[in-house]
Amino acid sequence: MSLRIAIDIGGTFTDFVCLNEETGQVIDEKAHTTPENFANGVINAIEKTGIDLAQTVYFVHGTTVVINAVTERKGAKTALVTTKGFRDVLEIGRANRPDLYNYFYKKPRPFVPRHLRFEVDERLNYKGEVLKSVSEEEVVEVARKIKKEGVAAVAVCLLHSYANPEHERLVGRILARELPGVEITISSDLIKEWREYERTSTTVLNAYVKPAATRYLDTLQERLEEMGLKVEPHAMLSNGGTATFARSKEVPITLIESGPVGGVIGAAALGKIIGEDNLITFDIGGTTAKTSLISRGEVKITTDYKLEWTPKYAGYPVKTPIVDIIEIGAGGGSIAWIDDVGVLKVGPQSAGADPGPACYGLGGTEPTLTDANLIAGRIDPNSFLGGEFKVNLDLARKAMEPIARHFGISIEEAALGVIKTANNNMLNALKLISVRRGYDPRDFVMVAMGGNGAVHGPFLAAELKVGKLIVPNMPATFSAWGMLMTDLRQDFIQTQIMPVIGCDLDRVNAIYQEMEQEALAVYEKQGISPEDIVFVRTADLRYIGQEHTVRTPVGNGIIREEDLITIRKAFDRNHHQQYTFSLDYAPAEFVNFNLTAFGMVKKPEMKKMPPAGSLHDALKGERVIDFDEHGRLMSKVYARGMLGPGHKIQGPAAIEEPKSVTILYPGQTLEVDDYGNLIIYTGV
Amino acid sequence: MAKVDPFTRENIAQGLIAAAEEMFLTWGRTSQSTIIYEVLDYACGLTDARGNLIAQANGVTGFLGAITYSVISTLEKFGPENLKPGDIILTNDPFTGSGTHLCDVSAVLPIFYDGELVAFAANKGHWNEIGGKNLGSWSTNATEIYQEGLQFPVIKIYEEGKLNEAVRDMIAANCRTPDMTLGDLYAQTASLRIAEKRVLELFDKYGKDAVMESIETLLENGRKLALKELAKIPKGTFEAESYIDANANGLGDVYIKVKVTITDDSFVVDLSESGNQIAAPINCTRFGAYSAGRIIYHALLNPDAEPNEGFYSPLKVVVREGSVFAAVRPAPVSTNWEALSHITDLVAKALAPVIPERITAGHFLSIIGTILAGIEDGTGQPFVLCEPQAGGWGAGYNKDGENGLVAIADGETYMIPVEVAEYKYPIIVEQYAFNLNTGAGKFRGGCGLIRDYRLLNSNAELTTIVSRHRIPPWGFAGGKDGSPNVVEIHPADGSEPIIGATFSNYPMRKGDLVRFISGCGGGYGDPLERPVDKVWQDVKDEYITIETAAREYGVIIDPVTLEVDREKTEKLREEMSRQN
């Protein structure tokens, strides 16, 4: 019993990482993702490695089942019950029109059609006081109507339920009694934060995905148990923590970004080990590039997530906490094309895994970023994916030909144009997460991951003025490794507006205690002992008159008068950091009280590598790589598997490993650290 | 042969656009004023040394002309030779280029590289308070611009980096909230410096020639794109007329008319036959008309185009001095969005029959600017609820109209949540629901909204400005008109409701209810061509009643079983189409 296993489903590949705690050995494996039944891909990946699941002590799974149920609109037929006068709130949304000049703009369509949105004549005010009580008779009547419609899930979201959940609980209980077999979600079980549209949207989405998530997690668990798994499996949550499958089924919306967060948590964990706490993660896979920022060891969490949002589309708010990641359509499979006025664009359309880039020879004819990297010599046709997958340079060149012809340039120049354009898109995403949010990239270290992260990372880090770049071990499956480094996590938010100085301290202390009790109860069911639970409190504050809030740390234990001054000062400091000014003289107020409850899990220890052999042994040979403005340079090629602590390499060079390659630019230096990470000094 | 490869040129162009966007984000992040960082009522842009727009980032549509003409008015007043590094010019003069109303202040910063003027960074945004007769500076009953606040007639607020303290002190003395107003000034000008820094970084990295060449290509590509779209549109002259029916200051309707002439390389919007300016603040200046022209031109030609001078170069807006679309001093203009919105709508209406694939039917249009203000009983503190309303949009050749969406003059503008409104203001929101009087059609107009506020305070004053009150949004291609915007006050004592459009400081008492009913969009195409299943679905979803299904769409549905009587429906539809 000593295996720790993580499985991460991506758009193209399902990644598997297994750590043997006794030997320290890590195995990674990739299998094709199987969209028709994701569990198959998971089972395939496990079978490929031949490990014995009975030896597993910890199993964590990053799943796309929730996001897929939503994007493919394959969730359950769902009804909504809300306060009288407000059934259209879900469809009105906030009425914003982000596509400014488009008369044909289409708002997000509600997940519950109008005839399945029911009202009950009850009312609270913003203090949570009852203006009109719930009539049981009326709710029973609503249940009768819902039953006739044959829905599988019901969402309940009543006005001001964040201030007083009693009405929602009552309605929920009656509906559960009247509608056996129907999944009920009430908003106050998910979030106790104001803004009715955002809360309703979150509740509806949770209800909508609940049956599908339950089915998937149950099936997978069954099959894993058949294969010998004896421990309760965990799912990766969008907030960067984990929860047991049992808990995840209750709040499946917290799995919405289950997939991409592993890499960010992994980077934070890696940073801790090697003593770097300001990190920018950079993950390029087959279809997208993702970046996130870790400041002072803290992964940035957002509660302003909007599903399917684009700058021109309002999207669907999900108010549960989610790791703040910027994702753009720029990956290896991104297609290069010429726009209306003759300008080259790359992505967001991707050739995906099938047909894939032209060089795969699977029928793809459009030029992709991978084709361009192949033509530029950055990827070696003979050792792509460790040589297990043959790629064809001629097909790549043929696909690139129309672009070359359009601009009247050579195929090599066209390939560089594609790389340059893709790099520029990625650089914009990197700036968005750093510079544009008030962070100076020079204070950060970049961590490159994903199959293509280390191809583009060294160049982009230098462009962004990041001095140091880390390519961790097994960068292509790093996200799955990151999942092994996570703790259980629950987030609670309670809206309660009151001035900071002169607030009702009893109420404040009661709110935190209630949230802590709730967290303990949930963990007890998951078998976590109290000494492994860590609470982190924050509060959202703002200057009175403002709308936006700033998250501010709050100490544990009983909060006293003098603590309020500490909180207030911390708020001013954080406000200044985020918004460049603070109003130290203006009165401030609490808006939300937040609690994060971690259930600490034993994590694998990273072992130092044995001393390296001679660098010469790692040298595989030489090839010409096109470094654009530096020219086409003869570059040494190294096998990463043969590199070890203390090895130093000067660019230009390529470091190849089975599922990735690192491109070191002229003027850059690479060192291998004690753990086998490649540390690149970018030359800025 | 180009000196710079096309990919680098594109990277530089993207860098310039990113500089405008970063200026936009920076201002949003550093502003202390909710109308900037919540309502996004501001815009940021870059122009070349002659004032040609290179890139612009917008939160709302109304400022599309603002950057260009603010820079041009700066060049006209000072001449390039009198601009120095570190200068920042301030203007809110609606009559010379800033364009909208006094609350919207433009700031312009000339960018110098190696001592040469190479570009301008400029931005414009809504300041919360700029003095004048009303708190918040805009009103629905001003008769002269002098009542609407402090005017900055293209002046240097910074000279070679030094703040003009005399001007600063005058601003502080003339505004009700001097700290916030000056805070706005500092945030706005600081964001200009960010853009300047980014532009100079591009010059340093790529060299002056490469950047200049990129700007040229960017503008050229913008023009190419516009000409390409113009080639797809029928040529000729197209007309439409209507009225601005806000009845502000009791002055009645204002006649408005447009003639749009399209050729291979021009798009001329001639508004000169429209009525005269009036002594109520619904007028816009010629620069407001230019912005309005850009909005609708942008929408019709290519909504995805980047806003730049090249793209707008075929557009010409013709106005008559002294008309409601080219007001001159001392006309009040503080609710100029009414005139501006109506220009976009007139052009759309003129062209809808010829390019139905590029425009949807009329929408509720008026932003229904609303202020509910008073002194809160419990605290003695003032409260001011100031918001636009959302409404119904028109149907198009391939879609029903949108239900509840902000008007064309707004944009990334968010309605206040009910739970937040009830916390902040002494009101109870009794409903927030769809107005179902949609314009019938093969594609149905979108639903307007009904929002009810019941006053919990002993008293308050209501101010609204609403057009499209008498004349509903238009349907086309056989689609029916939508329904108008209405404001109703239902007194607590149960007496007859007061129904109207524009109210100025109307007194309300505890228990009174104000109901905002925003209009529904117009329909597209013959309602009898709407598939029976869709009509049935609309009945099932209660977007239309069974009676409406029969009367407008000729579809007979059983009130008990909700089943369609196919036979009767066929007969009725035949009969109705004979009568048409």
The 3-state secondary structure of A338-397, one letter per residue: ECCCCCEEEEEEECCCCCCCHHHCCCCCCCEHHHHHHHCCCCCCCCHHHHCCCCCHHHHH
- Mark yes or no for CB contact B432/A89 under 8 Å: yes
- A7 pLDDT band, cuts 50/70/90, is very high
State how far residue A15 is from chain B, nearest Cα, in angstroms. Answer: 35
Of the candidates B10, B394, B423, the beta carbon closest to that of A343 is on: B10
Query: What is residue A1's predicted lDDT score, i.e. its pLDDT?
Result: 62
- Mark yes or no for CB contact A428/B32 under 8 Å: no
- Mark yes or no for CB contact A107/B396 under 8 Å: no
Collect all residues of chain B within an 8 Å Cβ-Cβ radius of residue A98: 411-412
Q: What is the pLDDT of residues A660-683, one digit of tens each?
A: 999 999 999 999 999 999 999 999
- Mark yes or no for CB contact B412/A428 under 8 Å: no
Domains of chain A: 3-70+213-255 (3.30.420.40), 71-207 (3.40.50), 336-415 (no CATH), 493-513+532-593 (no CATH)
Q: What is the CA radius of gyration of chain A?
A: 26
Alpha carbon distance B92, B95 (integer Å):
9
- A351 pLDDT band, cuts 50/70/90, is confident
- A577 pLDDT band, cuts 50/70/90, is confident
Of the candidates A96, A407, A581, the beta carbon closest to that of B413 is on: A96
- Mark yes or no for CB contact A107/B423 under 8 Å: no
If you measure CA to CA, which chain B residue comes closest to A194?
A: B419
Interface test with B, best of A100, A409, A628 (most B CBs within 10 A): A100
Collect all residues of chain B within an 8 Å Cβ-Cβ radius of residue A114: 541-543
Collect all residues of chain A within an 8 Å Cβ-Cβ radius of residue B34: 545-547
Q: Give yes or no for residue A230 having a pLDDT over 90.
A: yes
- B1 pLDDT band, cuts 50/70/90, is very low
**Nearest Cα residue to A88 out of B56, B446, B124, B74:** B446
Query: What is residue A176's predicted lDDT score, i.e. its pLDDT?
Result: 97
Interface test with A, best of B4, B419, B436 (most A CBs within 10 A): B419
Interface test with A, best of B25, B214, B418, B422 (most A CBs within 10 A): B418
What is the maximal distance between C-alpha atoms in chain A? 82
Alpha carbon distance A154, A112 (integer Å):
10
A580 touching B (Cβ < 8 Å): yes
A126 touching B (Cβ < 8 Å): yes
How many A-B residue pairs are in contact by the CB < 8 A criterion?
178
- Mark yes or no for CB contact A340/B420 under 8 Å: no
- Mark yes or no for CB contact A86/B433 under 8 Å: yes
Alpha carbon distance B485, B364 (integer Å):
7
Alpha carbon distance B275, A665 (integer Å):
67
Q: Give yes or no for residue A68 having a pLDDT over 90.
A: no
Of the candidates A93, A103, A113, the beta carbon closest to that of B299 is on: A103
Least confident of A356-370, B21-35, B435-449: B21-35
Of the candidates B11, B225, B449, the beta carbon closest to that of A420 is on: B11
Backbone angles phi, psi at A64, to 5 degrees: -105, 10
pTM (two decimals): 0.93
If you measure CA to CA, which chain A residue comes closest to B292?
A: A101
Q: Is the pLDDT higher at A547 or at B78?
A: B78
State how far residue A159 is from chain B, nearest Cα, in angstroms. Answer: 7
Q: Which of residues 625-684 of A touch B (CB under 8 A)?
A: none
Of the candidates A113, A436, A547, the beta carbon closest to that of B541 is on: A113
Collect all residues of chain A within an 8 Å Cβ-Cβ radius of residue B418: 86, 89, 159, 196
Whole-number average pLDDT of chain A: 92
Query: What is residue A385's predicted lDDT score, i.e. its pLDDT?
Result: 65
- The count of other CB atoms within 10 Å of the CB of residue B211 is 25
- Mark yes or no for CB contact A95/B405 under 8 Å: yes
- A45 pLDDT band, cuts 50/70/90, is confident
The residues, ordered by sequence, that sit 6+ positions from B438 with a Cβ below 8 Å of its Cβ are B392, B401, B444, B445, B446, B447, B482, B483, B520, B521, B523, B543, B544
Q: What is the pLDDT of residues A285-332, one digit of tens each?
A: 888 899 999 999 999 999 889 999 988 999 999 999 999 999 888 999
- A579 pLDDT band, cuts 50/70/90, is confident
- Mark yes or no for CB contact B30/A579 under 8 Å: yes
If you measure CA to CA, which chain A residue comes closest to B14?
A: A424
Q: Is the pLDDT higher at A384 or at A447?
A: A447
State how far residue B225 is from chain A, nearest Cα, in angstroms. Answer: 6
The ipTM is 0.96
Query: What is residue A386's predicted lDDT score, i.e. its pLDDT?
Result: 63
> Which position has the token pair 């309602």?
B527
Of the candidates A195, A420, A436, the beta carbon closest to that of B417 is on: A195
Backbone angles phi, psi at A408, to 5 degrees: 65, 40
Q: What is the pLDDT of residues B429-444, one digit of tens each?
A: 999 999 999 999 999 9
Count each helix (H run) and each strand (E run) in chain B, helices first.
13, 20
Alpha carbon distance B463, B514 (integer Å):
11
- Mark yes or no for CB contact B541/A421 under 8 Å: no
**Nearest Cα residue to A597 out of A522, A519, A543:** A519
A86 touching B (Cβ < 8 Å): yes
Secondary element (H or E) of residue B75: helix B66-78
Interface test with B, best of A104, A410, A575 (most B CBs within 10 A): A104
Collect all residues of chain B within an 8 Å Cβ-Cβ radius of residue A92: 390, 403-404, 415, 432, 434, 449
**Nearest Cα residue to A175 out of A241, A120, A110:** A120
Q: Give yes or no for residue B580 having a pLDDT over 90.
A: no
Query: What is residue A387's predicted lDDT score, i.e. its pLDDT?
Result: 65
Q: Give yes or no for residue A562 having a pLDDT over 50.
A: yes
State how far residue A126 is from chain B, nearest Cα, in angstroms. Answer: 6
- Mark yes or no for CB contact B30/A581 under 8 Å: yes
State how far residue B385 is from chain A, nearest Cα, in angstroms. Answer: 12
A194 touching B (Cβ < 8 Å): yes
Percent of chain A with pLDDT over 70: 99
Q: What is the pLDDT of residues A132-180, one digit of tens each?
A: 999 999 999 999 999 999 999 999 999 999 999 999 999 999 999 999 9
Interface test with A, best of B1, B4, B5, B7 (most A CBs within 10 A): B7
A665, two tokens: 């630019």
Q: What integer is the mean pLDDT of A521-531? A: 87
- Mark yes or no for CB contact B8/A420 under 8 Å: yes
Contact B487, B503 (CB under 8 A): yes
If you measure CA to CA, which chain B residue comes closest to A311?
A: B412
- Mark yes or no for CB contact B412/A106 under 8 Å: no
Of the candidates B22, B221, B359, the beta carbon closest to that of A436 is on: B22
Q: Is the peptide bond before A348 cis (omega within 30 degrees of 0)?
A: yes
Alpha carbon distance B496, A243 (integer Å):
59
State how far residue B383 is from chain A, nearest Cα, in angstroms. Answer: 11
Query: What is residue A388's predicted lDDT score, i.e. its pLDDT?
Result: 66
State how far residue A453 is from chain B, nearest Cα, in angstroms. Answer: 21
Query: What is residue A547's predicted lDDT score, i.e. its pLDDT?
Result: 76
Q: DSSP letter string over A140-176?
A: HHHHHHHHHHT-SEEEEE-TTTTT--HHHHHHHHHHH
Of the candidates B183, B403, B411, the beta carbon closest to that of A91 is on: B403
Alpha carbon distance B399, B395 (integer Å):
6
Query: DSSP assignment, residue B102?
Result: T
Q: What is the pLDDT of residues B204-252, one digit of tens each?
A: 999 999 999 999 999 999 999 999 999 999 999 999 999 999 999 999 9
Q: Give yes or no for residue B195 having a pLDDT over 50.
A: yes
A547 touching B (Cβ < 8 Å): yes
